[in-house]
Amino acid sequence: MAGKVETTVREIVEPFAKELGLSIWDVEFVKEGADHYLRIYIDKENGISIDDCVNLSHAVDEPLDAADPIDCSYCLEVSSPGVERTLKNDEHFMAYIDKKVMIKLIRPVDGEREFKGILKDYDKGNVTFESNEGKTLVFNKKEASFVKADDFEM
Check residue 2 and give its pLDDT: 55
**110 band by pLDDT with thresholds 50, 70 and 90:** confident
Check residue 152 and give its pLDDT: 59
Domain's final residue, options 39, 55, 79: 79
User: Is 85 within a domain?
Assistant: no
CATH label of the domain that carries residue 70: 3.30.300.70
**111 band by pLDDT with thresholds 50, 70 and 90:** very high
**145 band by pLDDT with thresholds 50, 70 and 90:** very high
Check residue 1 and give its pLDDT: 41
Is 113 found in the same domain as 70?
no
How many folded domains does the chain comprise? 2
Check residue 46 and give its pLDDT: 87
**3 band by pLDDT with thresholds 50, 70 and 90:** confident
Q: Which residues make Cβ contacts (< 8 Å) with residue 105, sequence separation at least 6?
A: 113, 114, 115, 139, 143, 144, 145
- Give the model confidence (pLDDT) of 66-95 as tens digits: 999 999 999 999 999 988 899 999 999 999
CA angle 35, 37, 18 (to 5 degrees): 165
CATH label of the domain that carries residue 101: 2.30.30.100
pTM greater than 0.85 (yes/no): no
CA distance readout (Å), 27 to 15, 97, 101, 125: 14, 22, 21, 20
Is 61 found in the same domain as 94?
no
Q: Residue 23: which of 77, 81, 68 has the closest Cα?
A: 81
Check residue 84 and give its pLDDT: 85
- Segment 116-133 mean pLDDT: 95
CB atoms within 10 A of CB 137: 19
> Over the chain, what is the mean pLDDT?
93
Is 133 found in the same domain as 69?
no
Domain's final residue, options 79, 106, 126: 79
- Segment 28-56 mean pLDDT: 95
- Domain range for 137 is 90-149
User: Is 111 within a domain?
Assistant: yes
Q: Rounded CA gap, 68 and 133, in Å?
A: 50
Is 99 found in the same domain as 60?
no
